[in-house]
Amino acid sequence: YRCSPGGQTHFLVEYYSSSMPCSCTWHVQHSQHLPTKLVENGSIVNTDSSSILIIESITRDLQGIYTFYVQNI
């Protein structure tokens, strides 16, 4: 996605697990030379089958590659 500075963005992921609860995390890599880390600048809303990452105000410092991980426990 390309976002305008100061704007808001949402990332929505839906997934399916037939019977087991899942563990979900959002990670970001701000530069190729930096390690991936948990997202700190946003709010996350998880349900039994989806996750939404909400970033209220986009800044240049928040650009990077955002990845969602889900796994059965």
pLDDT over threshold 80, residue 73: no
pTM for the whole thing?
0.84
Instruction: Let me know: does 68 contact 51? Beta carbons within 8 Å.
Output: yes
- Largest Cα separation within the chain, whole Å, is 41
- CA distances from residue 31 to 7, 18, 28 in whole angstroms, order as listed: 21, 36, 9
What gap in Å lies between CA 65 and CA 25, rounded to an integer? 14
Instruction: Let me know: does 51 contact 44? Beta carbons within 8 Å.
Output: yes
Q: Which residues on adjacent β-strands are paired with residue 22?
A: 72
The 10s digit of each residue's pLDDT in 1-55 is 778 889 899 999 998 887 778 889 999 999 889 899 999 999 999 988 899 999 9
